[in-house]
């Protein structure tokens, strides 16, 4: 059985930067077991499998797999899939069915192989638990306790479709100096996706991004991710909580992947009304870099 696939770099407009993504565009006959095996074979942070939508007015249905398991939602696969579908179907409004729900993306074509997609987060981010103490967090990241926290931000657990432990750190130097101590990691953060740590700090340089970030997950190849839209979606909740203005729309950029040699840029949009978060948006660019064919010794069960 031959299955085509495509490779994109996401949250960047330059090849070999950003977060790599594999897309399998005609995956209707593939079951979850073979999807998982393919994702493990690619060994990327995520692989997206596209099939026909359940509802005709939607563009496509996707399932997202890491090498370790399936996700109900992920940011960079959503951006990458929306750009891929927009470029190949010449569409600007892309409605994607994911396990978390239907996500509507606006796709702008920027070139033959390049596009930008923006979407509203599937669930407004909310605080979902308590944070460990700073001493425990610092030990897992190889930092001093006084390096945990940044301006008004303190550690917190948030989810905008996937749960993350959000850890503000003192500055860029502290962020770059993180060295994971995996021993005792589950004792501090637990298991499952809630054990993923999104460390971030404010960027004080002019004309640069608003936030700098790194995402760590022990189940990922190399334990670090170069661009994590679902973590930025969670961060929207913490940012909204700390914005003093009661009403307005606020735009931010998050730079990630610098310490991995794969710089990425994620757009983040926060909307508040009367002190409440009413809108969260994520966006980024993606560029096609290649395609190929999988030769599978596998026969689908129909």
Catalytic residue among 33, 46, 127, 224: 46
Tokens matching residue 146: 């006084």
CB-CB contact of 215 with 225 (8 Å): yes
The helix/strand/coil state of 56 is: coil
How many CA atoms lie within 13 Å of 208's alpha carbon, on the beta-carbon side? Answer: 13
Beta-carbon contacts of 140 under 8 Å, excluding residues fewer than 6 positions away, are 180, 181, 184, 185, 188, 189, 197
Element (H, E) at 237: helix 229-242
Q: Torsion over CA of 291, 10, 21 and 70, rounded to 10 degrees?
A: -150
The answer to whether residue 46 is catalytic is yes
Q: Distance between CA atoms of 186 and 32, rounded to whole angstroms?
A: 27
Which of 262, 238, 21, 36 is CA-nearest to residue 125? 238
Per the document, the length of the chain is 302
**Helix, strand or coil for residue 260?**
helix
Q: Catalytic residue positions?
A: 46
């Amino acid at each position: 059985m031959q299955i085509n696939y495509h490779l994109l770099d996401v949250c960047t407009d330059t090849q070999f930067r950003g977060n790599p993504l594999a897309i399998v565009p005609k995956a209707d006959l593939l079951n979850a077991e073979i999807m998982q095996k393919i994702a493990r074979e690619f060994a990327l942070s995520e692989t997206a499998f596209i099939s026909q939508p359940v509802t005709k007015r939607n563009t496509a249905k996707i399932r997202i797999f890491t090498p370790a398991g399936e996700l109900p939602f992920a940011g960079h696969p959503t951006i990458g899939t929306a750009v891929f579908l927009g470029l190949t179907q010449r569409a600007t409004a892309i409605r994607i069915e994911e396990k978390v729900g239907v996500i509507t993306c606006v796709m702008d074509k920027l070139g033959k192989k390049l596009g930008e997609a923006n979407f509203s987060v599937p669930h407004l981010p909310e605080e979902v638990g308590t944070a460990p103490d700073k001493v425990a967090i610092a030990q897992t990241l190889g930092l001093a306790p006084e390096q945990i926290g940044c301006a008004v931000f303190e550690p917190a657990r948030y989810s905008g479709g996937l749960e993350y432990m959000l850890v503000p750190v003192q500055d860029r130097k502290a962020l770059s100096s993180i060295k994971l101590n995996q021993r005792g990691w589950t004792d501090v953060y637990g298991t499952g996706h809630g054990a993923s740590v999104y460390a971030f700090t404010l960027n004080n340089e002019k004309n640069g991004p608003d936030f700098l970030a790194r995402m760590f997950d022990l189940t990922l190849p190399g334990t670090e991710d170069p661009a994590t839209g679902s973590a930025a979606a969670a961060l929207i909740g913490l940012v909204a909580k700390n914005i003093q203005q009661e009403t307005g729309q606020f735009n931010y950029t998050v730079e990630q992947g610098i310490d991995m040699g794969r710089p990425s840029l994620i757009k983040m949009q926060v909307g508040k009304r009367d002190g409440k978060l009413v809108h969260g948006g994520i966006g980024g660019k993606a560029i096609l870099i290649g395609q190929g064919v999988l030769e599978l010794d596998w026969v689908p069960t129909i």
